[in-house]
A and B are shown apart, each in its own frame.
Chain A
């Protein structure tokens, strides 16, 4: 009996009409498109975008050149060279991140004992020449200086879960 019923249902295009009714209904449904440059989706305070190097409030850079981030980086995107500064502290002379290699996993941020290397919410950046996305220490510090307020707010929001 069911076979006969199914046969007639198929023969009279019942299933097809049901499917078309569904898509027909969705044609008038509210659209969920986010129109990117004007509208943006909300971001988490843990968003992992462009990297930045932070400074203390005194203006002293945080990084102490421990190379933990370089060691943990799964994509081998970080390159660090270290030397002693005149005041006897250990500082990096070179801190490069190749953003074309980086997979934005956030391990560098997590491994950093002094919260020096962080990932910001910035994701709309680009390079127009080969090498533009090879970020050196001054570039990273500049990103940090520019977005310090947002970075500090995000760290504060995250602090209770750490």
Chain B
């Protein structure tokens, strides 16, 4: 079948096959985003002793479709003082890097779109690009709330990027590789979950997870949106599908951070116990757990004040991750390094 298609299409085979693979990643991702919004509303509802959406379809399962349809039908309003080109560009700039980063994510030992050696660097670059969408949206909206939101977001993401980068330095030191697949393979061993990097790198795991929450602008670090202070922050002027793109970008980023956390600290597709086989299902279970933590955080913690957020990033996370880089470096020189 494949060979037959290959001969039929000739040189067009590679683009067609790559596009097909991209669709195979993006389409389930969009479904996951849609149902993550439902899961969020359900989980937060349960934690507030409510039952969450349950009207559209059995158990509210069609709610994301209804929401999507509603956003699709709505008019996109461009404010009169806005820079129209940048205003339209901003949601695209938010979604594009959030999707592009998926190119190097290994789902299991074989399933990866492009197995590049500098995967970790590529991920860092792509997640950093996301902030441009926010800045452009805030500036192009010509609204003071949007502008305040984008300023906050820019400073926040830049600050937490540093701590996140140092946390990733620990991981690449432990794995001796920037290739995400090799990082997972480095956590393979005879003792199941005791071989994962979360054990020796626990402090930077926490730093990475919390920075990940901050990077995706999720509660309690959602000062960029801050709906009770600056209405909705950077996307206050957006409606309809333009708003939906921001939404998709945010949730795609959340899922991305879930995947990265499970790849780098929780052993990716590796089984937590030695007697069970490694499988892609472990990967999904770990991602679901990390995403549940995101929702749990949102239901539990009040929003940080802006100066507290900066203090946490610069005066706590950066020193902790820096110290742990040194600790891991020294540790690896001794014979007590077992990973």
Residue B296, interface by CB 8 Å: yes
Contact B296 A16 (CB under 8 A): no
Q: How far is the CB of A13 from chain B (nearest CB, A)?
A: 7
CA of A5 to CA of B296, assembled, Å: 27
Contact A19 B50 (CB under 8 A): no
In the complex, chain A residues whose CB is within 8 Å of the CB of B54:
35
Within 8 A of B (CB), among A23-39: 23-24, 26-33, 35
Nearest CB in chain A to that of B54: its residue: A35
Contact A26 B47 (CB under 8 A): yes
In the complex, chain A residues whose CB is within 8 Å of the CB of B51:
31, 33, 35
Within 8 A of A (CB), among B23-53: 43, 46-51
Q: Write out, one digit per residue, whether chain B residues 123-163 have a CB within 8 A of any chain A CB (1) or not (0).
A: 00000000000000000000000000000000000000000
Inter-chain CB contacts under 8 Å: number = 36
Q: How far is the CB of B32 from chain A (nearest CB, A)?
A: 21
Nearest CB in chain A to that of B299: its residue: A23
CA of A27 to CA of B43, assembled, Å: 7
Contact B46 A31 (CB under 8 A): yes
Count, chain A residues at interface, CB 8 A: 16
Complex partner residue of B49 from A19, A20, A32, A35, CB under 8 angstroms: A32
Residue B300, interface by CB 8 Å: yes
Contact B46 A16 (CB under 8 A): no
Contact B296 A20 (CB under 8 A): yes
Most buried by B among A19, A27, A28: A27
Nearest CB in chain A to that of B220: its residue: A16
In the complex, chain A residues whose CB is within 8 Å of the CB of B297:
20
CA of A31 to CA of B54, assembled, Å: 13
Most buried by A among B49, B54, B297: B49
Q: How far is the CB of A84 from chain B (nearest CB, A)?
A: 55
Count, chain B residues at interface, CB 8 A: 14
Within 8 A of B (CB), among A113-136: none
**Beyond A23-B296, A24-B296, is A33–B50 a contact (Cβ under 8 Å)?**
yes
Nearest CB in chain B to that of A26: its residue: B47
Q: How far is the CB of B115 from chain A (nearest CB, A)?
A: 36
Q: How far is the CB of B306 from chain A (nearest CB, A)?
A: 19
CA of A140 to CA of B301, assembled, Å: 51
In the complex, chain B residues whose CB is within 8 Å of the CB of A24:
47, 296
Nearest CB in chain A to that of B46: its residue: A27
In the complex, chain A residues whose CB is within 8 Å of the CB of B47:
23-24, 26-27
**Beyond A23-B296, A27-B43, is A16–B301 a contact (Cβ under 8 Å)?**
yes
Contact B301 A19 (CB under 8 A): yes
Contact A13 B300 (CB under 8 A): no
CA of A24 to CA of B43, assembled, Å: 10
Q: Write out, one digit per residue, whether chain B residues 42-69 have a CB within 8 A of any chain A CB (1) or not (0).
A: 0100111111001000000000000000
CA of A16 to CA of B296, assembled, Å: 11
Residue B206, interface by CB 8 Å: yes
In the complex, chain B residues whose CB is within 8 Å of the CB of A19:
300-301
Nearest CB in chain B to that of A12: its residue: B206
Q: Write out, one digit per residue, whether chain A residues 74-113 have a CB within 8 A of any chain B CB (1) or not (0).
A: 0000000000000000000000000000000000000000
**Beyond A13-B206, A27-B43, is A20–B300 a contact (Cβ under 8 Å)?**
yes
Q: Write out, one digit per residue, whether chain B residues 281-306 have a CB within 8 A of any chain A CB (1) or not (0).
A: 00000000000000011011100000
In the complex, chain B residues whose CB is within 8 Å of the CB of A29:
49
Nearest CB in chain A to that of B316: its residue: A11
Q: How far is the CB of A158 from chain B (nearest CB, A)?
A: 33
Contact A26 B301 (CB under 8 A): no
In the complex, chain A residues whose CB is within 8 Å of the CB of B300:
16, 19-20, 22-23
CA of A19 to CA of B296, assembled, Å: 10
In the complex, chain B residues whose CB is within 8 Å of the CB of A13:
206
In the complex, chain B residues whose CB is within 8 Å of the CB of A27:
43, 46-47
Q: Which residues of A contact B (CB under 8 A)?
A: 13, 16, 19-20, 22-24, 26-33, 35
Beyond the given A19-B300, A23-B47, A26-B46, please list 14 additional residue pairs across the A-B interface where CB-CB is below 8 A: A13-B206, A16-B300, A16-B301, A20-B300, A22-B300, A23-B296, A23-B300, A24-B296, A26-B47, A28-B46, A31-B46, A31-B49, A33-B50, A35-B51
Q: Can you list 20 A-B pairs with a CB-CB distance of less than 8 A?
A: A16-B300, A16-B301, A19-B300, A19-B301, A20-B296, A20-B297, A22-B300, A23-B296, A23-B300, A24-B47, A24-B296, A26-B47, A26-B49, A27-B43, A27-B47, A29-B49, A31-B49, A32-B49, A32-B50, A33-B51
Q: Which 4 A-B pairs have the closest CB atoms?
A: A23-B47, A23-B300, A27-B46, A33-B51
